[in-house]
Structure 1
């Protein structure tokens, strides 16, 4: 993998660690879960052949520190962080943006609020449960995750979280499965260290986010929505499929499941590369 140029950027309330590779039009990659910049290790070289690729650790994750470690987290603030990176690295031209999971929610908000800065957004399985017809069930689920975390701690909350994400037809005992990184021990350690922050502050806030449907519908020609081939009927997939139907855009099928970026990096990278150059809506 090509060594990146690394730097830090001061934003309101945080310092963002970011990495830059390649040359050409800017492509910003927004990770989900606790992945951070390293979540894209398996695809970044392919993408950097035609783009200046920017990866980063979202505020509060890994090497991107918060001024106030207890600060509440909000989608709009994370989207503003992404905007600051665009303004720094592509001040005169709109950029392409990819986001996965919670990072896809950030990408949707960035498109809705600052469309002049975004040429295209590819959003893989944003868990926007507020668009679902049975939203009350999922609001109750998020409340259970939050209450379990505060009352019983991280791993019991992860078990509740995993159970709420599983396929509707899956009656097996849920696993507290994490978004596993590649084998690097240092990255795995960082991932585990960020879990309390992710479960305690990112999950309840981000999964309560309600997209601006009218605004996104007017920008649908710039939006690609994607779901994993292996995650159909899981909660993030169902939310994304419902969003696609309501916006009138097709749902692209990417290799793997919700974490196909990690489990199928070569095939996933090929699909992502194609989705960045194929006209949206095709």
Structure 2
């Protein structure tokens, strides 16, 4: 299993293809979520994917420590250096978009551009205090043992319409121990750190940043955060197929648009 040892963690990673380096990163989504998209891009690019620290095949020394965007950015920086094919275009989605933006702030020499797909930067919103309080309640509900209740709160906050029977199918009953461990780490040590992270707007204005937004994400929490970030950076969000997880659910259509963006960025 390909693993890179970094301070306090061992990171599982995959490299495929050849050409300019593209990083695909999520949080808490692991490398498997990007497999179909990575395979499609690998015909023209060197594609790096990895499991974030403490998720799935990536281990950490202390599972009681938070996973912050700054720390995940440092992990990505070390992976990019190890791949030795940079500078990279870093595509991140959700918490991974926050990681990629933090990477661009801290390591501009390694990042040609960032494509931040639906970053949940709650602090930019006018009602940030309310959303943060909801997140605290959600995490407390999970830690009290009400898994379905916590996920129901999450979907409501994100304005994602998911029927109860589907939530039960996804998160109820017998589940893989690794999926439960990853979920617990996310609710306990990752979700708050990701949604509380605030960009250094003046720094990001000097970076090459593309904001990605799903065409089916209208009215959702990340629709709001994308437009607020776009206003701050003077960038109009670019529309991608699908919704928050369009890259995984519609990889072929997603890859087509992403290729167009990558071509623009490399010219």
TM normalised by structure 1 equals 0.86
Instruction: Indicate conservation of the 8 Å contact 2:101/2:199, yes or no.
Output: yes
| CA displacement at 1:175 relative to structure 2 | 7.5
Instruction: Indicate conservation of the 8 Å contact 2:63/2:185, yes or no.
Output: no
Aligned twin of 2:93: 100
**Distance in 2 (alpha carbons) for counterparts of 1:177 and 1:120:** 36
Change in CA separation of 1:174 and 1:149 when aligned onto 2, cut-off 3 Å: same
Structure 2 unaligned residues grouped into runs of 5+: none
Instruction: Indicate conservation of the 8 Å contact 2:31/2:51, yes or no.
Output: yes
5 Å-filtered alignment, 1:227-246, equals 227-246=213-232
Aligned twin of 1:266: 252
Secondary structure in 1 matching 2:196: coil
| CA displacement at 1:190 relative to structure 2 | 4.3
Matching of residue 84 in structure 1 with residue 78 in structure 2: yes
Change in CA separation of 1:141 and 1:173 when aligned onto 2, cut-off 3 Å: farther
| CA displacement at 1:192 relative to structure 2 | 4.6
**Distance in 1 (alpha carbons) for counterparts of 2:80 and 2:7:** 15
Q: 1:24 pairs with 11, 19, 22, which one?
A: 19
Aligned twin of 2:134: 141
TM normalised by structure 2 equals 0.90
| CA displacement at 1:176 relative to structure 2 | 7.2
Instruction: Indicate conservation of the 8 Å contact 1:159/1:176, yes or no.
Output: no
Aligned twin of 1:209: 197
Root-mean-square deviation (Å): 2.3
Instruction: Indicate conservation of the 8 Å contact 1:154/1:196, yes or no.
Output: no
Change in CA separation of 1:175 and 1:270 when aligned onto 2, cut-off 3 Å: farther
**Distance in 2 (alpha carbons) for counterparts of 1:119 and 1:211:** 18
5 Å-filtered alignment, 1:13-52, equals 13-33=8-28, 35-52=29-46
Runs of 4+ residues over 3 Å off in structure 1: 172-178, 187-193
**Distance in 2 (alpha carbons) for counterparts of 1:52 and 1:177:** 36
Instruction: Indicate conservation of the 8 Å contact 2:12/2:57, yes or no.
Output: yes
Structure 1 unaligned residues grouped into runs of 5+: 1-5, 181-186
**Distance in 1 (alpha carbons) for counterparts of 2:130 and 2:6:** 36
Aligned twin of 2:105: 112
Instruction: Indicate conservation of the 8 Å contact 1:230/1:257, yes or no.
Output: yes
